[in-house]
Amino acid sequence: MIDRDLSDALQSVAGAATLLVAADYDGTLSPIVDDPDRALPHEAALRALEYLTGLPGVHVAIVSGRSRSALIHLTGAPDGVRLIGTHGAEWGDDAAEWDPMVDAVIEALTAVTARFSGTLLEAKPRGGALHYRHAADRPGAAAAAITVGRSLGTRVIEGKEVVELLVGDTDKGSAVFRLGDLVGADAIVFLGDDTTDEDVFARLGEGDVGVKVGPEETAARYRVADPDTVAEVLRMLAIARDS
């Protein structure tokens, strides 16, 4: 259910001359599932994003911690939707040279998975992620991955039952506002559920709309419960923009 304050904010932001609509993927456009490879997009939410791309002055992006190749695989790369992966490091139009530190990250996280049963390593173009949702010793696995990241000097991102080690200084906030500058956005709507999405929420201005998905503490001004309600938000925004 969408409360009155959020409904009013959507009606207002829909009138921006140039509007950027961006969202996280897992937990926002897709329910959190045990197997990351089966995290299919919420059909109604994806349809609403696709509809928004067809409206004048609207730009749409998915900004995720997943690799860009994983986003393409899961979403089918819908026309008009920009896919930005690895917390803003992958745009699909850059050709950054391979950093040998990435190999060191993968090697070290592989050793962690060998020590902690039930963990899963996800290799990424700018580092790697240790998923410990099914680990027998979840606190130990998380602590081991964090220790590895600090010893290697990588950026350590603690998400929902995942620790990511990234080479470089990228974050979702920088990515969203870089894209906003590129398209000349007058206002931004951003939806996300994870701690990494706080980098965006903390930078949103008075005329922007940040929507936190879930009950955790947040800098976002508005909140919804789950991807089902995310779909309602996007549909409401599309109707308001198209009216």
Residues involved in catalysis: 24
Report the distance separating Cα 20 and Cα 224, nearest Å: 19
The β-bridge partners of 17 are none
Q: Say which amino acid occupies 6.
A: L
* Token pair recorded at residue 87: 């917390």
Structure tokens at 243: 């009216």
Going across the sheet that includes 120-124, the strands are 120-124, 127-131, 162-166, 155-159
Cβ 23 vs Cβ 208: under 8 Å: no
CA distance 54 to 68: 22
